[in-house]
Amino acid sequence: MITIEDLNKTQLILLTLLIAFVTSIATGIITTTLLAEAPVSVTQTINRVVERTIEKVAPENLTAKYVFSADDKKLLEAVNRAISVSVEIREVGAATSTPGILGIIVSEDGLIVASKKGIISTSSYVAVLPSEAVVNLELIRAEEEDNTAVFKIKEENTGTSQ
């Protein structure tokens, strides 16, 4: 049996957060249940207090405007570049509801790197590009030891994603 003394600092913090979360959920459920059964005069009073509190805490004319720093702008540019080279790799013939695998185009000649998980070397694959174009892929290698698969985009285009 594990005792509280056996937990390290991180586990204690996570346990405390879990207990706080469960307690807040239980408190919300109990409060909602009690308010549903309370007389109308009580709920009207509570509603007025909540409305006045909201008016004081968050006035309607309050508008927040975030000013991006140079680092924020660089981060946004990096995210947009990453999105532009991300593809969804799908097995040919798999159900359309089956989620694809995320791949990243790593070279101008069409090399794509993805996780090996779920890749079957005998299957055929296509990539859905950010433009929604669908292109055939050739599996170049699938390495067990580093869990990566490398594909190459074939020239022919198979249409668009639906």
User: In angstroms, rounded to a whole number, what is the distance separating the alpha carbons of residues 47 and 49?
Assistant: 5
Q: Which residue has the tokens 């990096």?
A: 78
Model pLDDT for residues 5-15, shown as the tens digit of each residue: 777 888 888 88
How would DSSP label each residue in 18-84?
HHHHHHHHHHHHHHHHHHHHS-HHHHHHHHHHHHHHHHHHS-TT----PPPPHHHHHHHHHHHHHHH
The encoded tokens of residue 28 equal 């919300």
User: Where do the domains of the chain lie?
Assistant: 4-57, 85-160
Task: State the CATH architecture for 85-160.
Answer: Beta Barrel (2.40)
The pTM of this model reads 0.51
Model pLDDT for residues 103-115, shown as the tens digit of each residue: 988 888 889 999 8
Residue 100's pLDDT is: 84
Give every residue of the chain whose pLDDT is below 70, as ranges: 1, 57-64, 96-97, 156-162
